[in-house]
Amino acid sequence: MTLSHGVDVRVGPGGHSGADASVVTLNGESVAVDAVAGVRDALGASDAAVTVETTLPLGAGFGVSGAVALGTAYGINAVYDRHRGENDLVSIAHCAEVTARTGLGDVVAQARGGLPIRLEPGGPDHGRLDGIPAAPRVEYVTFGSVSTEAVLSGDTTRLTAAGGRALADLRDAPTPSRLVELSRRFAREADLLTDRVADVIESVRDAGGDAAMAMLGDTAFAFGSGLSDAGYDPEVCAVHPGGATLRAAEHAESTPPDVE
Amino acid sequence: MTLSHGVDVRVGPGGHSGADASVVTLNGESVAVDAVAGVRDALGASDAAVTVETTLPLGAGFGVSGAVALGTAYGINAVYDRHRGENDLVSIAHCAEVTARTGLGDVVAQARGGLPIRLEPGGPDHGRLDGIPAAPRVEYVTFGSVSTEAVLSGDTTRLTAAGGRALADLRDAPTPSRLVELSRRFAREADLLTDRVADVIESVRDAGGDAAMAMLGDTAFAFGSGLSDAGYDPEVCAVHPGGATLRAAEHAESTPPDVE
């Protein structure tokens, strides 16, 4: 799902030393986001300065690395006049993220917005999408990180089988409540559930609601007021209907016409 | 292109007599929107009351009929618990619009948002899309209607050839300025340009800008400040990045959980 608590990426024309192409400024600090190196490289902009602001934690299942890669692709295209189409930019960010092993399907979903359903794997030239037609309120609590790379580098047979079952069942009834139910089942069947998320889910279900785990992070989420009703003090946002969007630069007069 | 000056569609559970399945209430008046009949029928909700509010004129090239059909499909799905996915709903509205001969590609573009590029014809299960990664300010002036049905019912050979050339050239450089240039060329080559729109385009180009014609309506548009710079007093809005979005009902407590 794409969240209104998103990631703002600003690209400047030059200013990055290029010594490490994965480095961005995230909430004022220099950090490495591996997928960014692939994007800078694919668009020939190793000197592009990338500044990221977000309230979401890295590595906690929110797809921040994918969002940074996607925002970098859109930003470089605009600032460096690369004249690429949206599919090209999404493909570049998707491939960079998959190569970095920090995510598999985040970028394509983030580009679409809403509650996407990935019918097939792959970038926008391959993988067909559908979506759940709803925009519910979202609550979440996060306890920390799970390494996506460690999971994707391990034996994913069980995970793939559980994912196939969940996807087939979701397509039969694509609603938000079914999404939570199937996500909860998937995390259990794929043996990904952390103890803390399992506790939250149990409490929410005892209170008459339902909750599931963010993939992949030590994070629980619910639609509506599932977490508050169970006594938690969650972060609250909404499903973002549009996904990745290009904003006008603050100093419009200094931007080329195509970026206005 | 999808505009922030959009169309709000509200669906009520029952209240429509069903005598004429195309009738909706548009800005307080009963009007027939042919595509709506197909949507009510496909989703088995002949009694669904459909109320539409918009500042955009019908028949002037803004795709209002397609937007009403699409909004009706999303609304019926939510209110009548039809549990359809987004692709199904878009397909239903698209087919209803094509059957009514009031538009060919509006609905699929409206569902995506932004500045979509239709790479292939057809609904979401067939036609691939790309998009121009930009969200420019939009200006428009409208003088009245052109009958989409009359154009689509006539000889479309010339129109199809001009469209193919414009699409190929746009894919080479998918930018807003190129979109306006190619739209202008398309309207001329396809012999669709009205005298009033031709006058506007000439004035805007004399003032150093560029403008084109809305398909199909007696309407001229420009990005940025093209029309104001030429002395017109245009309507002003923006490209809507998200396209069709489902809103929470005002009385959330009376809606089923999936619609919240």
Q: How many CB pairs under 8 A join A and B?
A: 114
Residue range B21-77, pLDDT digits in tens: 999 999 999 999 999 999 999 999 999 999 999 999 887 889 999 999 999 999 999
pLDDT at A249: 61
- 8 A C-beta contact, residue B103 and residue B64: no
ipTM for the complex? 0.88
Q: Is A113 within 8 Å of B174 when comparing Cβ atoms?
A: no
Predicted local confidence at residue A121, as pLDDT:
86
| Per-residue model confidence (pLDDT) at position B79 | 95
For chain A, domains (ranges, CATH) are 7-120+243-259 (3.30.230.10), 136-238 (3.30.70.890)
Are the C-beta atoms of residues B8 and B67 closer than 8 Å to each other?
no
Nearest CB neighbour to B133, from listed A74, A133, A224: A74
**A133 closest CB neighbour out of B117, B137, B246:** B246
CA distances from B224 to A58, A130, A185, A245 (A): 37, 33, 50, 18
Q: Shortest Cα distance from A257 to chain B (angstroms)?
A: 8
**Record: contact A134-B258, CB cut-off 8 A:** yes
Give the pair of three-digit tokens for residue A130: 């559908």
Predicted local confidence at residue B158, as pLDDT: 87
Q: Decide if B86 and A258 are in contact by the 8 Å CB cutoff.
A: no
| Mutation target among B84, B91, B258 for the A interface, most CBs of A within 10 A | B258
Neighbour count for residue B14 (Cβ, 10 Å): 11
pLDDT score of B1? 93
- pLDDT-based confidence at residue B140 (cuts at 50, 70, 90): very high
**Predicted local confidence at residue A124, as pLDDT:** 82
Tell me the chain B residues in contact with residue A84 when contact means C-beta distances shorter than 8 Å: 133, 174
pLDDT in tens, chain A (260 residues): 999 999 999 999 988 886 799 999 999 999 999 999 999 999 999 999 999 999 998 878 899 999 999 999 999 999 999 999 999 999 999 999 999 988 888 999 999 999 999 998 888 877 789 999 999 999 999 998 877 677 777 788 888 999 999 999 999 999 999 999 999 999 999 888 999 999 999 999 999 999 999 988 899 999 999 999 999 999 999 999 889 998 866 543 333 333 32
Say which amino acid occupies A132: I
Query: Considering only CB atoms, which residues of chain A are within 8 Å of chain B?
Result: 74, 77-78, 83-87, 89, 113-114, 117, 124-125, 130-137, 171, 173-177, 223-224, 240-243, 245-248, 257-260
What does the pLDDT read at residue B171? 96
State chain A's maximal CA–CA distance in angstroms: 56
Burial readout B121-138 (b: 16 or more C-beta within 10 A, e: otherwise) = ebbbeeeebbbbbbbbbb
Q: State whether A246 and B171 contact (CB < 8 Å).
A: no
Residue of higher predicted confidence among A248 and B235: B235
Q: Which chain B residues have a beta carbon less than 8 Å from that of A240?
A: 242
Instruction: Using CB atoms, pick whichever of B134, B242, B248 lies closest to residue A242.
Output: B242
